[in-house]
Amino acid sequence: MALELVYTSAERGLRAGTSGFCTVAMTRGLPPALVPRLEALGGYRPGPSGDGPRAHCFWRVETAGSVAHVLAVVGPAPPDHTQRTNKIAAYLVLGQDELVPAGPAWLLAQRGLLRERWAGAPAWIEAPVRVPASGPHGL
């Protein structure tokens, strides 16, 4: 089951003392060494009106002798608590058994797999994300 992290601008982050662009949601059990690495990956510049395309990404992130396979979508979000333009970055850390034969592009095309919004208070995500198996004939 994939572990999730959501990063956006918020008045208060999930970890004590964090605000502004920070983690607002995360699955329990996400390796602590991976959190700052994911937070650093979400660079995005919205257009002048705050809109723009979503960037879909797949990374192999190395941390302390291990490799994490990470799917991500980064894109515009509604204005933050200060009414400034905002972005949201949603990450899924895949287990080895979730690396489907159809590849990461196929996973990124699955609607609803990665969050495109976050509203409300920061929260721990209790249930890992269920990643779909590849489509018919591995495609």
Long-range contacts, 57-62 (Cβ 8 Å, 24+): 58/104, 58/105, 58/108, 61/34, 61/37
- Phi/psi at 107 (5° precision): -60, -45
Displacement of CA 5 from its chain's centroid (Å): 5
Whole-structure pTM value: 0.89
> Is residue 134 scored above 90 in pLDDT?
no
Cα 99 from Cα 97, distance rounded (Å):
6
| Helix, strand, coil tally for the chain in percent (to 5) | 15, 35, 50
The per-residue pLDDT for 12 is 94
pLDDT in tens, 29-50: 999 999 999 999 888 777 777 6
56-112 per-position pLDDT tens digit:
999 999 887 788 999 999 999 888 888 888 889 999 999 888 899 889 999 999 988
List pLDDT tens digits, range 1-26: 899 999 999 999 999 999 999 999 99
